[in-house]
């Protein structure tokens, strides 16, 4: 097991290296620099700025410096937001995104697994069809459609919830629901599929023959196998929840990493873009690893891999 | 000399199902299964209707998508403007139809790009086998781990919001799964007798791959392509929503939703109609994709 974890951790390194390399050169190859659109500066001030951000060095030198600093956790100074380094900005914004992601995950798991279990209890009946149609609808309602619609109804028309912001618990309901809805829909479909497959297996018939109650069969025996597709999906899902929230954070003006990234991209803030992308990639890789470990714990057959 | 496509998948026909007399090809068989799936048939019908409407509609509507009537301003649905107008007095129906053209065009062309790259890459990788295959799939694994939405955003910001570039960028990141699917198929197909026969006939490797192996991967490719179209349309709409995709006065469904959100308190119809059109089309595409998967590949049931 330790060897498995170590090997997987080592495999993350080339991925992160690829991410940093692509992002680093992509933003620098693009026409226009971060200090171009401003008024023309005096040559001396320009030189000073370039020296401060090390832009006067050759490109490969900048790249190696960046790698060396990033490996030690220093993502450099922000080009636009002075006063804090990129690492400090990330540490400030990331917890907000993680918090939003966790709430959304809670919504997705509670709603999705509940709906999937209900549907699997009586397959191909009215309730099943209703739940599955709702799930399909959820998949087709992306955040930028659902979010504004929810705001329109619950904030503007009903006046129950605040429109945007991230201060009180009431502020956090709409973003969490908006972000979690699509994942709830996927999880509902997977739970249904996994449960149906498990329920058709022999050991369930044995459990029924033993005279166990249906609830006990479902929760004690079938659930462990039935939710395996969901567990396998959790890694990508959590990665998506933590990183794919640019839209939701933009709609509800949540001060998270997603909005920071979009802003930085618009502002051509090289270091901020590279830094946020690197943090995202690391998060995705670690979450996928965690999901694989959880799967191995649930299914002994997967441990040999 | 073509590959024996008809007899390819005897296992695909469930034993319990009644097999009609005569030779049922894979495709006729699949069509028969698709026809009884009411949701998929309805989805197919809706999609055809959407396609006809957005292609023919802009020629029929009395207004063009960019004709402004600032004296009129934003008005709700009424005679002459069935879906109302936006604050610049532009007819929403005309903008919706034009936006549908753009969204569908991007969805289809980006899917075509991803199809081309994915099928060729996966086909070559699976057919080559050995170390080349391992290397090519390792590259796909690494690319898989990249946060690709992030890269599309970076591409769009830093390299201009060009229409052509938009679907090239999207297509270029959506091919990975397609490559994996095709490679898996090719790996098992290349050991089959008809490939051996083709080889014995002295055909070249490229010809065997393109004429004999790839056509047999068509089923999974069609299924996945159908499911790629809504994903691409979603990505396009997300980009347009963030202000990185299609630029005004051009129109796309994502852009219309963005404009609708900006004024949703005063003019809710500007948000509602584009949202309905977009979500209904996504729904239909996903339902059709699911139906095709059930019809073409009955072994994998609904997830």
pLDDT in tens, chain A (305 residues): 788 788 888 888 888 888 888 888 888 777 666 666 555 667 777 777 777 777 777 888 888 888 888 888 888 888 777 778 888 888 888 888 889 999 999 999 999 999 988 888 887 788 888 888 888 888 888 888 898 888 888 888 888 888 777 888 888 888 999 999 988 988 998 888 888 888 888 888 888 888 888 778 888 888 888 888 888 788 778 877 876 678 888 888 888 888 888 888 888 888 888 888 888 888 888 887 887 787 777 766 655 54
Higher-pLDDT residue of B168, B186: B186
Residue with structure tokens 């992002």?
Answer: A23
pLDDT for B24 equals 57
d(CA B139, CA B149): 18
Q: What percent of chain B has pLDDT over 90?
A: 7
Find which of A14, A25, A140, A154 to mutate to test the B interface (most B CBs within 10 Å of its CB): A140
Model confidence at B14, pLDDT cuts 50, 70, 90, reads: very low
d(CA A144, CA B227): 20
Model confidence at B278, pLDDT cuts 50, 70, 90, reads: very high
| Residues A74/A87, Cβ–Cβ less than 8 Å | yes
Residue with structure tokens 């090719």?
Answer: B186
pLDDT for A103 equals 92
Query: CA of B56, closest CA in chain A: separation in Å?
Result: 25
* Full-model pTM: 0.80
Q: Using an 8 Å CB-CB cutoff, list chain B residues near A262.
A: 153, 242
- What is each CA distance from B27 to A139, A263, B115, B292, B295, in whole angstroms? 28, 49, 20, 11, 9
Q: What is the pLDDT of residues B180-206, one digit of tens each?
A: 889 988 888 888 888 888 888 888 888
Which residues 197-256 of A have a C-beta within 8 angstroms of B? 229, 243-244, 246-247, 250-251
pLDDT for B4 equals 43
| Cβ separation B147–A280 shorter than 8 A | yes
Helices (H) and strands (E) in chain A, counts: 14, 0
| Cβ separation A193–B301 shorter than 8 A | yes
Q: What is the pLDDT of residues B117-163, one digit of tens each?
A: 999 999 999 888 889 888 888 888 777 767 777 777 877 777 766 76
Among B8-17, B225-234, B238-247, name the one with the lowest average pLDDT.
B8-17
- Summary mean pLDDT of chain B: 80
B120-159: b (≥16 Cβ within 10 Å) or e: bbbbbbbbbeeeebeebbeebeebebbbbbbbbbbbbbbe
Least CB–CB distance from B261: residue in A22, A148, A189: A148
CB-side neighbour CA atoms (13 Å) of A143: 26
Taking the Cβ of residue A183 and every Cβ of chain B, the question of whether any pair is shorter than 8 Å is answered with no
Q: Residue by residue, what is the 3-state secondary structure of chain B?
A: CCCCCCCCCHHHCCCCCCCCCCCCCHHHHHHHHHHCCHHHHHHHHHHHHHHHHHHHHHHHCCCCCCCCCCCCCCCCCECCECCCECCCCCEHHHHHHHHHHHHHHHHHHHHHHHHHHHHHHHHHHHHHCHHHHHHHHHHHHHHHCCCHHHHHHHHHHHCCCCHHHHHHHHHHHCCHHHHHHHHHHHHHHCCCHHHHHHHHCCCCHHHHHHHHHHHHHHHHHHHHHHHHHHHHHHHHHHHHHCCCCCCCCCCCHHHHHHHHHHCCCCCCHHHHHHHHHHHHHHHHHHHHHHHHHHHHCCCCCCC
Least CB–CB distance from B146: residue in A18, A136, A193: A18
Within 10 angstroms of residue B24's Cβ, the number of other Cβ atoms is 15
Q: What is the pLDDT of residues B201-234, one digit of tens each?
A: 888 888 888 888 888 888 888 888 888 888 888 8
pLDDT for B12 equals 44
A284: Cα separation from own chain's centroid = 7
d(CA B233, CA B227): 11
pLDDT for A302 equals 56
Burial of B248 (0-12, 13-18, 19+ CB in 10 A): middle
Query: Dihedral of the CA atoms A55, A60, A66, A67 (nearest 10)?
Result: 180
- What is each CA distance from B192 to B129, B134, B216, in whole angstroms? 15, 21, 11
């Amino acid at each position: 097991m330790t060897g498995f974890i170590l090997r997987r951790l080592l495999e993350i390194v080339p991925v992160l290296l690829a991410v940093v390399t692509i992002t680093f050169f992509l933003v620098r190859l693009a026409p226009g620099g971060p200090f171009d659109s401003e008024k023309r500066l005096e040559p001396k001030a320009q030189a000073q700025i370039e020296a401060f951000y090390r832009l006067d060095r050759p490109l490969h030198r900048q790249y190696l410096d960046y790698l060396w600093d990033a490996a030690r956790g220093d993502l450099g100074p922000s080009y636009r937001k002075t006063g804090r380094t990129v690492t400090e900005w990330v540490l400030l914004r990331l917890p907000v995104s993680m918090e939003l992601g966790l709430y959304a995950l809670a919504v997705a798991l509670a709603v999705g697994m509940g709906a999937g279990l209900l549907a699997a209890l009586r397959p191909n009946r009215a309730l099943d069809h209703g739940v599955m149609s709702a799930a399909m609808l959820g998949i087709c309602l992306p955040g930028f459609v659902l979010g504004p619609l929810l705001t329109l109804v619950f904030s503007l028309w009903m006046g129950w919830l605040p429109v945007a912001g991230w201060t009180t618990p009431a502020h956090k309901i709409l973003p969490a629901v908006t972000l979690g809805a699509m994942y709830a829909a996927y999880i509902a479909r997977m739970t249904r599929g996994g449960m149906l497959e498990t329920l058709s297996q022999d050991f369930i018939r044995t459990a029924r023959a033993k005279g166990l109650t249906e609830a006990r069969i479902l929760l004690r025996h079938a659930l462990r196998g039935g939710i395996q597709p969901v567990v396998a999906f959790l890694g990508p899902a959590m990665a998506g929840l933590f990183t794919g929230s640019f839209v939701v954070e933009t709609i509800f003006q949540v001060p998270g990493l997603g909005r920071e990234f979009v802003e930085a991209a618009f502002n051509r803030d090289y270091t901020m873009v590279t830094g946020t992308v690197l943090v995202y990639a690391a998060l995705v890789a670690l979450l996928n690893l965690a999901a694989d470990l959880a799967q191995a714990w649930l299914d002994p057959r997967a441990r040999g891999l | 000399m073509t590959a024996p496509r008809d007899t390819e998948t005897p296992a695909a026909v469930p034993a319990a199902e009644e097999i009609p007399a005569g030779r049922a090809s894979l495709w006729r068989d699949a069509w028969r299964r698709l026809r009884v799936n009411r949701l998929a048939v309805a989805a197919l019908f809706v999609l055809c209707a959407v396609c006809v409407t957005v292609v023919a509609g802009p020629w029929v509507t009395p207004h063009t998508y960019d004709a402004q009537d600032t004296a009129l301003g934003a008005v709700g649905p009424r005679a002459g403007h069935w879906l109302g107008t936006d604050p610049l007095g532009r007819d929403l129906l005309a903008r919706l139809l034009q936006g549908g053209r753009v969204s569908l065009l991007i969805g289809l062309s980006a899917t075509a790009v991803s199809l081309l790259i994915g099928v060729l890459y996966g086909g070559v990788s699976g057919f080559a086998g050995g170390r080349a295959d391992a290397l090519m799939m390792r590259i796909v694994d690494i690319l898989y781990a990249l946060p690709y939405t992030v890269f599309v955003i970076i591409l769009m910001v830093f390299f201009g919001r060009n229409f052509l570039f938009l679907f090239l960028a999207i297509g270029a990141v959506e091919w990975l799964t397609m490559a994996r699917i095709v490679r898996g198929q090719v790996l098992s197909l290349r050991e089959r007798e008809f490939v051996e026969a083709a080889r014995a006939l002295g055909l070249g490797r490229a010809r065997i791959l393109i004429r004999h192996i790839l056509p047999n991967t068509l089923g999974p490719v069609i299924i996945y392509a159908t499911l790629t179209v809504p994903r691409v349309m979603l990505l396009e709409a997300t980009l347009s929503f963030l202000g990185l995709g299609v630029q005004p006065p051009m129109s796309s469904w994502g852009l219309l939703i963005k404009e609708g959100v900006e004024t949703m308190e005063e003019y809710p119809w500007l948000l509602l109609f584009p949202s309905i059109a977009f979500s209904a089309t996504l729904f239909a595409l996903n339902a059709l994709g699911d139906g095709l998967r059930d019809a073409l590949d009955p072994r994998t049931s609904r997830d």
